[in-house]
């Protein structure tokens, strides 16, 4: 069989893992790239083994191959393997031990300093810089690049988990890495080989009926689909001893209390400190 065309059974299994037995969508085209993406799961426990030489550079090449808005190339990446730095980062992230455990930690930077430097060198004022739109575009670019790197890593048998908790204290993170003004770590990423007991299952998602609309937005199925997803997540949570049983409970816990922002409600002030003027 063509190496890019895994067995049809694996397609059905992969879709079933992602959506649960009752939510499997219509089967369509399929290949190993898609199979890798559907098999994604965040991993929070790593073996100490380093990633093979050249892996970082391959991941970065994948990242830089993502589309980038107007080809502005806003992304920079700080790679760290330094235990002392990872210890500080884990602390900033509220004690997420996988940051210390993973052999490679990547911080994904919205790097507007690169363009500020061009503005100064070329003596052209960039009137577009201090606007929310430009900041958003930089962050979107960073996310697209990072996700390409994640897919590349996973296709090589590595595991990852994003660490949004870098934004708990963006100023301290910036200081740790000597970031220049107008650059900001959007999130971190643990990379490494999963410890056996940490591989986990594919986490189910809302059905396509809940999120895919044709021609116009239609949320008539939203309630029923949410309840169906709650049931699926309830079973998943029971298997994984997760506190928030249903997806709805998870949403309530995360979006209800302000304290769940863990300092990120001060983002505007932190960004101002980092030299971003966002109008």
The least CB distance from residue 22 to ligand FMN, in Å, is 19
When asked if residue 161 is in the footprint of ligand FMN (CB under 6 A), the reply is yes
When asked if residue 99 is in the footprint of ligand FMN (CB under 6 A), the reply is no
The least CB distance from residue 134 to ligand FMN, in Å, is 20
Map residues 19-48 to x or -, x wherever contact with ligand FMN holds by CB under 6 A.
---------------------xxx-x----
- Please pick, from the candidates 25, 48, 50, 164, the single residue that binds ligand FMN as defined by CB under 6 A: 164
Q: Which of residues 247-266 bind ligand FMN (CB under 6 A)?
A: none
When asked if residue 95 is in the footprint of ligand FMN (CB under 6 A), the reply is no
CB atoms within 10 A of CB 260: 12
Tell me the CB-side half-sphere exposure of residue 72, using CA atoms within 13 A.
22
Size of the site for ligand FMN (CB under 6 A): 13
The least CB distance from residue 147 to ligand FMN, in Å, is 8
- Residue 107: is it exposed, middle or buried by C-beta count within 10 angstroms (0-12/13-18/19+)? buried
When asked if residue 203 is in the footprint of ligand FMN (CB under 6 A), the reply is yes
When asked if residue 96 is in the footprint of ligand FMN (CB under 6 A), the reply is yes
Residue with tokens 């990242």: 63
Q: Which of 191, 227, 189 is nearest to 206 (CA)?
A: 227
- Please pick, from the candidates 109, 149, 151, 163, the single residue that binds ligand FMN as defined by CB under 6 A: 163
Where does this chain touch ligand FMN (CB under 6 A) — which range of 53-61, 74-82, 125-133, 156-164? 156-164
Q: Which CB atom, from 115 or from 193, has the smaller least distance to ligand FMN?
A: 193
The least CB distance from residue 125 to ligand FMN, in Å, is 33
79 Cβ neighbours under 8 A, 6+ residues apart: 56, 104, 105, 106
The span from the CA of 13 to the CA of 235, in Å, is 18
Residue nearest to ligand FMN (CB): 164
Where does this chain touch ligand FMN (CB under 6 A) — which range of 158-166, 214-222, 229-237, 240-248? 158-166
| Contact yes or no for 53/141 (Cβ under 8 A) | no
The least CB distance from residue 190 to ligand FMN, in Å, is 9
The least CB distance from residue 118 to ligand FMN, in Å, is 28
**Cα-Cα-Cα-Cα dihedral of 8, 14, 15, 16, to 10°?**
110
Residues in the site for ligand FMN, rule: CB under 6 A? 40-42, 44, 93, 96, 161-165, 187, 203
């Amino acid at each position: 069989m063509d190496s890019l065309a895994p067995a049809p059974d694996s397609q059905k299994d992969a879709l079933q893992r992602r959506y649960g037995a009752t939510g499997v969508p219509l089967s369509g085209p399929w290949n190993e790239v898609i199979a890798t993406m559907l098999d994604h799961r965040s991993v929070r426990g790593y073996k100490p083994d380093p990633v093979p030489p050249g892996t970082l550079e391959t991941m970065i090449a994948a990242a830089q191959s993502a589309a980038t808005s107007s080809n502005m190339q806003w992304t920079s990446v700080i790679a760290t393997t330094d235990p002392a730095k990872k210890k500080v980062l884990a602390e900033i992230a509220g004690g997420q031990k996988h940051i210390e455990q993973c052999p490679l930690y990547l911080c994904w930077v919205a790097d507007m300093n690169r363009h500020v430097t061009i503005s100064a060198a070329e003596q052209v004022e960039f009137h577009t810089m201090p606007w929310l739109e430009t900041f958003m575009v930089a962050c979107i670019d960073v996310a697209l690049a990072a996700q390409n790197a994640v897919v590349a890593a996973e296709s090589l048998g590595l595991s990852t988990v994003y660490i949004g908790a870098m934004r708990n204290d963006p100023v301290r993170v910036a200081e740790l890495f000597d970031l220049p003004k107008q650059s900001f770590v959007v999130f971190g990423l643990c990379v490494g080989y999963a410890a056996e007991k940490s591989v986990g299952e594919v986490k189910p998602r809302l059905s396509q009926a809940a999120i895919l609309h044709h021609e116009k937005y239609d949320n008539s199925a939203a309630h029923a689909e949410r309840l169906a997803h709650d049931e699926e997540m309830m079973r998943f949570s029971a298997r994984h001893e997760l506190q928030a049983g249903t997806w709805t409970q998870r949403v309530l816990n995360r979006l209800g209390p302000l304290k769940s922002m863990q300092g990120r409600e001060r983002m505007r002030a932190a960004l101002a400190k980092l030299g971003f003027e966002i109008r």
